[in-house]
């Protein structure tokens, strides 16, 4: 018994499109952070290494100080602090993504979640990211050969 596809204006279809675009944006940020930090997320081992990386101790005293127009000292954010924040963001976004994947499976099922992930990955590839730059290997995730 064939079923007619739901119209694009259907709230369920709109929700799936929103889920896909949200997931794509999350994956793009993860990929950009990984590229910027010079880390590969192409294997499970590499993702585990990123997740288990020790948090960098906060810089308690800035080493770089600049003077403003009046000659008063002003502390700039150090590059060490920025890099520490980027690592923290990357780990946090990876954890968030795993939670989102789980929630999507609970909300719309495995098949719909798989389609969302496949479409998001295709968009990222068209945007110039290499497959797996975001740490997702769809074949491995869905046990495909």
Q: What is the 3-state secondary structure (H, E, C) of 36-53?
A: HHCCCCCCHHHHHHHHHC
- What is the pTM (predicted TM-score) of this model? 0.76
Residue 19 lies in a domain: yes
> Taking residues 7-11, what's their average pLDDT?
73
Task: Select from 119, 116, 110 the least CA-distant residue to 143.
Answer: 110
Residue 64 lies in a domain: no
Residue 115 lies in a domain: yes
Residue 42 lies in a domain: yes
Residue 70 lies in a domain: no
Q: Could you tell me the two tokens for 97? A: 């993504």
- Average model confidence (pLDDT) across the chain: 83
Domain with 126, as residue range(s), is 11-54+76-141
Supply the pLDDT for residue 1: 47
Residue 131 lies in a domain: yes
Residue 4 lies in a domain: no
Distance CA 45, CA 104 (A): 24
pLDDT of 109 above 50: yes
Supply the pLDDT for residue 62: 53
Instruction: Report the DSSP beta bridge partners of residue 66.
Output: 74
Q: Count CA atoms closer than 13 A to 18's CA, side-chain side.
A: 8
Total of domains in the chain: 1
Query: How large a percentage of the chain has pLDDT more than 70?
Result: 76
Percentages (nearest 5) of helix, strand, coil residues in the chain: 60, 5, 35
Residue 5 lies in a domain: no
pLDDT of 61 above 60: no
């Amino acid at each position: 018994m064939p079923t007619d596809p739901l119209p694009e204006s259907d709230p369920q279809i709109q929700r799936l499109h929103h889920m896909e675009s949200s997931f794509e944006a999350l994956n793009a940020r993860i990929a950009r952070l990984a590229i910027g930090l010079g880390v590969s997320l192409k294997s499970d081992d590499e993702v585990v290494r990123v997740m288990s990386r020790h948090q960098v101790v906060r810089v308690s005293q800035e080493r770089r100080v600049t003077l403003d127009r009046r000659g008063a000292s002003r502390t700039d954010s150090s590059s060490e602090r920025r890099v520490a924040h980027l690592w923290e963001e990357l780990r946090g976004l990876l954890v968030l993504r795993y939670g989102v994947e789980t929630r999507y499976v609970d909300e719309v099922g495995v098949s719909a979640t798989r389609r969302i992930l496949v479409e998001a990955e295709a968009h990222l590839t068209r945007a110039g990211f290499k497959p797996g730059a975001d740490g997702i290997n769809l074949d491995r995730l869905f046990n495909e050969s």
